[in-house]
Structure 1
C-alpha cells in the first residue's frame, strides 16, 4: 500500500491498523480498550510515511470505538493498551458507564429502524383477498357457508304415522296395508283372504302369505 488512495475508507484503514498493530487493533472478534491518545501515537509512529489523511484516520477510529464489539470491552478496571499491546492505564467507572449508555442507545436505534422498515414493507404489501372478491364478500360467504353447514348438521325429519293392528273389517282384497318383515314395515296390497291366511303382494311383485298378526294399517 504505497499510495494514500489505497487507504481511503474507514474499513481499509482499520484492516491496515489491525495488520500493523495486531496486539492493539483487531478487524473482527473481541476488541481491546485503546490507550487515550492513540490517534497521535499512530501519527507519530508513521511520521511522514502516513498512507492516510488525519481526517480519515480520525473517522476510522471513531467508527472503531463506536462499534458494539468495542463498547462491549469497555468495562471498569479493564486495561487499555498502546500500539504494541502494552497495558498503560485502566477504564474508569465513568468511562464504562458512558460506553454502556452508548451501546444501549445504538441497539435501540437499530431496533427502531428495523421495526420501521418492517412496518413500511407491511403497508406496501397489504394482504390481498382472492381476485374479484372483497373482504366484505368473503366474510358474507363465510357466514352463509356456516349457516348452510348448520342447517345440514341439523336435518328435520318428518314424523312417521303410527301404525295399528287392523280389525277384521279393515282387511279387504285390494286394501293397502303394511306387513312386518324384519325391522321395518313394508307396503303391500291384499291379494286374497283365506280364513286366517292372508295373501299379500309387495312392490317387488312377490306374493307372500301372512297372518293378521303380521299386518298393520
Structure 2
C-alpha cells in the first residue's frame, strides 16, 4: 500500500506542484513561464515518498505548459522562473512566437469543433417545407412523414385529374360496409366504406390499409 501512487491524474499533480512550489506553479490566475529544464529540478526536489512517476510528472508538465493560461504568459520581455519563483532567463523571440502559434492552433481547433457541433445541430433540426405547406425536420421519422405527405399530394393531384370529368357520388346513398371504388391513380381501386366524415370518406382497400380521401375521389 505504501507504493500506491497518490496522484492518478495530471490535474492532481499540478495541484500538488502549485501547493509545493507556489512561486512557480499555480492553478488559477496568471501563470509564470517555467525555467527550461525544470523537469529535472522537480525530479530532484520532490520527495520520493510522494511516489510520482517520471512519466506522469512529464505528462502533467506538458498539460500545464499547453494550457491557454500558460501560453498567454509567454510574451516578450517576460522572465522564466525556477522552482522558487526567481527569474533565471528572458524569453526568446523564438519561444514567444512558438507559444503564440500553439495558442492560435488550440483556439482554431476549439472554434472548428464548435462550428461543427453547430452545423450538426442545424442539420438535425433543419426545417423542411413539403408541397402541402406542412413543416417537418431532417431526421429519420419526420423525413419519412414528409415523403408520405409528398406522395399523398402527388396521388391527390393525379386523382383530381382523373376525376375531372366524373360525376360525384351521392354520399347520402352510401353507408358503412358498402363496396365502393376510389381513384388513387389512373385506375380505380375497389374498397370498403368505413365511415363518412363530412366531406371526406374513410375506406379500406384490399391491401388492408385504411385511407381517408375526399368524397370526390369516389367513382360510380
> TM-score per shorter chain, which class?
0.5 to 0.7
Q: Which runs of 4+ in 1 moved over 6 A?
A: none
TM-score where L is the length of structure 2: 0.57
In the other structure, the counterpart of 1:52 is 52
> What secondary structure does 2:35 align onto?
coil
Shift of 1:47: 4.9
Report the count of equivalent residues: 133
Please show how residues 29-44 of structure 1 align to structure 2 within 5 Å.
29-44=29-44
Shift of 1:18: 0.5
Counterpart CA distance in 1 for 2:26 and 2:4 is 21
> Do the aligned residues in 2 keep the contact of 1:43 with 1:50 (CA within 8 Å)?
no
In the other structure, the counterpart of 1:105 is 105
Give RMSD over aligned pairs. 1.8
> What secondary structure does 2:88 align onto?
strand
TM-score where L is the length of structure 1: 0.57
Shift of 1:17: 0.4
- Describe the shift of the 1:51–1:100 C-alpha distance in structure 2 as closer, same or farther (beyond 3 A): same
1:114 equivalent to 2:109? Answer no
> What secondary structure does 2:111 align onto?
helix
In the other structure, the counterpart of 1:138 is 133
> What secondary structure does 2:5 align onto?
helix
In the other structure, the counterpart of 1:15 is 15
Q: Which has the larger radius of gyration?
A: 1
In structure 1, the gaps of 5 or more residues are 129-133, 140-217
In the other structure, the counterpart of 2:138 is none
Counterpart CA distance in 1 for 2:97 and 2:4 is 37
CA displacement, residues 61-106 of structure 1 (integer Å, 9 cap, x when unaligned): 0010001110011012211111111111110000000000111111
1:71 equivalent to 2:80? Answer no
